[in-house]
Each structure stands twice: as structure tokens, then as C-alpha cells.
A = this chain, B = another copy of it.
Amino acid sequence: MKCEIIAVGTELLLGEIVNTDAQAISQGLAELGINVYFETVCGDNPERLRSVLEIAKGRADIIVTTGGLGPTADDLTKETIAAAFGKQLELHQPSMDRLLQHFKGRTMTPNNEKQAWLPQGCFVLDNDWGTAPGCAFEAEGCVVVMLPGPPSECVNMFRQRAMPYLAKLSGGTICSRYIRVFGMGESEMESKLTHQMQTWRNPTAAPYAKEGECLVRVTAMAETEEKARAMTEPALEELRAILGDVVYGVDVDSLEQVVVQEMTARGLTLAAAESCTGGLLGKRVTDIPGASACFLGGVVSYSNQAKQDLLGVKKETLEQFGAVSEQVACQMAEGVRRAMGADVGVSTTGVAGPGGSEQKPAGLVYIGLSTKEGTRAVRILKPNQSRDRVRRLASSTALDLIRRYVQGLSE
């Protein structure tokens, strides 16, 4: 089956927003094994949308549209598509009831009602993330799926409403699971998983790189979601066994989420002393709601004076080894652990760049970890990387070091 994605919205053509809807839909269709050969963007203009639909009819079995389902006068996707496929719009009472419920206690203007008018005989895709319902129908040998444009609505509607509908057409439902990895490069991961990637058909395994981390998506298709999910289990087990303890979680969002969960579950507390990351590590930990259960706080010791005054780093150590050194990283981690009365102290000190010297080049970072078992530091060196990437990687390395300590793994 060949699919074409049509995004409708003048704001896309003006470059006001980027077409993330198309990306999310493309990913989901790839999981379903449906090929996307073309993607088109056109404005909120009925004639041009009509011409785009005629072209798509001739080269696609499935057409997925985004945008133009809302209440305003320029939202004309539904009307234009219905006309292109010779269909009338009719009032869909359950959708009208949902709208009335949504506007309960407020005035619902008449233009909002038009969102409940849908092509006759269509399958309605309820919108739990906004007001405009989506819909799907088959006509003239094509499957047409219409989704709202705002990304938060579109992506949820696509994954939770449209994907099950499309999977049923091909006789199943799908389940995707994600293995998250830190500390192994994408190419190394791919070489370890070549066999699974190339030979698995259901479930499939697909690797991705994302912000200095890697993940593997495992997707299974079966008659029911439960069966599909059950099929992913042995696959996840096999992949975890191959990848080992670089796997920091399955179906989790981030390293910081795992750190907060695992420390909170064990009743452990954390404090951070940051130099080159300048607050990024604390920021990432406190991105997680409920981080206060384990995170006491930290010190951003950007200046050497702050390292001495607030963390007790020794002046002689700074003079002898420099601020960017294993010794200072260890004293920073110990110092913040002591100052905050935390179970675990972590530290970063490095050269984020640009700039740096021959002995201390940009990309050199030491990460310290202090616990009741002792204090140690690891060294990372990532030359020719942007300041952003060095800082991101330093904070990720610190988080992974905490994760490994908490889980009782070797360094």
C-alpha cells in the first residue's frame, strides 16, 4: 500500500511552523509497513487543495491529511475532500454532543458547530486533545484519513486513532516499544543488531540516534494490542541481552526520569556541583515532576573562588592540577555531597568550548561521583563538538554514572 501525506496550512508555506506532523505520521506509517512515496503541503485554498487531491488519487492508495478541520472560515479541508470524493457532509450527533460538553458553561459560537459535520458514512476519529474530530472513509479505491493540524492533536490522533484504523485494514493492530541506550554509539549498536534488524519481520527492530543517545524501536503487529504487546516481550529480552547494561530503560522518556525514579524508590538523595554544565544537570533532573523527592539541589561553581568557598575545593589542588582535572572533579563531588547532606554527590568540570588549550582541549570533561563507598571521577573527551553537545553529553554521562551506581552496576 502506498500512502501520500497532505498537510494543509498557509502557515507551513510561510515557514511560520515546521511540518512535524508529517514526520510523526511518516514514522507511524513506517511502523505499519506502509510506504510513503510523496508528501505535499498546500495552503488553505480549496482550488489548490482540490488539484493536490486529484494528483494524490492517481498515485496513492491511502491519503492522510492534516489541518483545516477547525472552526474558522479558512478551515476548508473537510468540505474540499468531501466534494473531491462526491460526498455530502452530515451532522454527527455524538461529535456535536462532545462539542456541547466541551463548551458547557461558555458560549459556543455557530462556527464551532461545523466541526461536527462530517462526510456521510465516515468512521469518526474522536479527538480527546482538542475540539475538531478527525475521520476516515474509503472511496474510489482510496482510504482517506483526515486529522487536525495542531501537532499535539495530530500526533495523538494519528497514533491512537488512525494507526489502529489503518492496522485493521491490513488485518491487525500494532504495539511499539522503545529500548533506551546511553554509552554506545549508533554504529556500534547497529553492528550488534544487524541480524535482528535485517531478518526480523514481526516484530521489527529499528535503531535511532537522538541527542547523543540511541534507541531501538520494537514494533509488533497482531489481531489485538495485547497479543502484539506480548510478541514484543521476547524481542525486548533478546535485544537487552545483546546490548547489556548500556540499556537504561524500556518505554521510559529519559535518563533523568530513570535517575529520579530509581533514587526516589530507594530513598536516596542527590546533590550536584556543576562547573562546565552551568546548571544544565540540575535543570534536567528538575525537568522531572516530583524531582524534589530525591534532588536536594546543588552549586554552580563557575568561578574557582566558588569552588573553594562553597565546595571546599583546595586552593593547592586548583593550582597544581587546574580546575579541569580528576582531582577537582572528586573534591567538587565530595564537597557538594557534604554541603547538602546528600547520599550521592555528582560533579562536572570541563572545557565546553569554543577555545581550550593543548593540555585541556575543548570537549575534555571530568565527571565526579561521591557516595558512602568513596569518590571517583571519569574522563570524557569529545573534540570537534559544539558547546551545546559537549555540555549535553557531560550532563548525560553524569546522569548515567548515577544510574549505574544506584543500580549496582560497575562503572
Give the B-binding residues of A (Cβ under 8 A).
Answer: 12-20, 22-30, 35-43, 45, 48, 51-52, 55, 59, 208, 272, 274, 276-287, 289, 291-292, 295-303, 305-306, 309-310, 339-341, 352-355, 387-388, 391
Contacts and interface: CB of A to CB of B under 8 A. Distances in A.
Contacts of A27: 14-16
Given A41-B39, A279-B280, A287-B388, A303 B297 contact: yes
Given A272-B279, A283-B283, A299-B299, 9 more contacts: A14-B27, A15-B22, A15-B27, A17-B23, A19-B19, A39-B41, A40-B40, A296-B305, A297-B310
A24 B15 contact: yes
A361 to B, nearest CB: 15
Given A39-B12, A280-B279, A299 B296 contact: no
A292 B303 contact: yes
Contacts of A354: 289
A100 to B, nearest CB: 22
29 contacts: A13-B35, A13-B39, A14-B27, A15-B27, A15-B29, A18-B22, A18-B23, A37-B43, A39-B42, A272-B279, A277-B283, A277-B286, A278-B279, A278-B282, A278-B283, A279-B281, A279-B284, A279-B298, A280-B282, A282-B300, A289-B355, A291-B302, A292-B302, A292-B303, A296-B306, A297-B302, A300-B300, A305-B341, A310-B310
A282 B301 CA distance: 10
Max chain B C-beta neighbours (<10 A), residue from A19, A27, A42, A276:
A19
Contacts of A26: 12-15
Contacts of A36: 13-14
Max chain B C-beta neighbours (<10 A), residue from A25, A45, A295, A297:
A297
Given A12-B39, A15-B23, A15-B26, A285 B289 contact: no
A299 B310 contact: yes
A37 B40 CA distance: 10
Contact of A52 (B38, B298, B388): B38
Contacts of A388: 287
A30 B17 CA distance: 13
Max chain B C-beta neighbours (<10 A), residue from A26, A39, A302:
A302
Contacts of A30: 14-15
Contacts of A297: 299-303, 306, 310
Nearest to A301: B297
A273 to B, nearest CB: 10
A27 B276 CA distance: 35
A300 B299 contact: yes
Contacts of A276: 286
A26 B20 CA distance: 15
Nearest to A45: B37
A40 B310 CA distance: 57
B295 A298 contact: no
B283 A280 contact: yes
A272 to B, nearest CB: 7
A6 to B, nearest CB: 10
A52 B20 CA distance: 22
Contacts of A284: 279
Nearest to A340: B306
A85 B358 CA distance: 53
Nearest to A26: B15
A388 B14 CA distance: 27
A29 B14 CA distance: 8
A403 B388 CA distance: 24
- Which 9 residue pairs across A and B have the least CB separation, nearest first? A279-B282, A278-B286, A15-B26, A279-B279, A15-B27, A39-B41, A279-B283, A297-B302, A297-B306
